[in-house]
Amino acid sequence: MRDRVRRLELLRQVHADLDACTACPKMIGPVVHGPPVLGSVMLVGQAPGPREGSFGRPFAWTAGRTLFRWFEESMHVSEEEFRAHVYMAAVARCFPGKAKGGGDRKPDAEEIGRCKSFLAREVEILRPELVLAVGSLAISEVLGPRVAGKKLDAIVGNVVRATWHGHETDVIALPHPSGASPWHKIEPGKTLLDIALLQVKHHSAMRATLAAVERERASRPAADPRAVAVERPRR
């Protein structure tokens, strides 16, 4: 219990330091991060989009709806349940702005480097058993040189044992759920995504997470049937 309390305080301090960060002049605030969840599963995305800042949480807009639909269909877990049990992070925590050619700008190397210290602290605190790397940038950041030059076809659908920020963990890569990318909608991406989601579902860390979700569901008081108004059929 003491260790859990200490780790929660450390995560809250990371979030406070993130909120106070002004190191990247091209980035558009506010800083976006999820709640301080002490889970064994960690999700890492690319960077917030233009809408996430107003919601104050990652994957809060259209790409998020697709991502959480994947999880609900494959693992029967709601968005709220997932957010409450999986720590959600990103390679960069502020909106990078729009690219000249359209779409969101990818964080540059300096911006990624400035955010690395926060990720390193989070990994040290959480010691995740499973990391879900969502999108090419997150996959590259987590898996490093071993995926350099490889296409998603060669990466998605594999469970990779990797050392990230000094911590050994399993990594499952997922495509970015952006509507701008057709990869997960056509073959072989569609099948590889299904395989990857099954790998997530059956990983021991996610099984433990889903078991915790089920315990929470079971502990909720059942609805009082007398409180449900039933409309009588009209004659």
Bridge partners of 41, per DSSP, are: 130
SS3 helix, strand, coil % of the chain, rounded to 5? 50, 15, 40
Structure confidence by residue, pLDDT tens digits, 194-209: 999 999 999 999 999 9
Reference 124, options 89, 159, 174; nearest CA is 89
Does position 135 have pLDDT exceeding 90, yes or no? yes
3-state secondary structure of 173: strand
Number of other CB atoms surrounding residue 162 within 10 Å: 16
pLDDT digits (tens, 9 = 90+) for 5-61: 999 999 999 999 999 999 999 999 999 999 999 999 999 999 999 999 999 999 999
Confidence bin at 232 (pLDDT 50/70/90) = very low
> Hey, is 172 helix, strand or coil?
strand
Q: Which domains does the chain have, with CATH numbers?
A: 2-215 (3.40.470.10)
- Greater pLDDT, 2 or 75: 75
pLDDT in tens, 151-203: 999 999 999 999 999 999 999 999 999 988 899 999 999 999 999 999 999 99
Which residues neighbour 193 within 8 Å (Cβ) at sequence distance 6 or greater? 70, 156, 174, 175, 184
For the chain, what is the mean pLDDT? 94
- What integer pLDDT is reported at residue 174 of this predicted model? 99
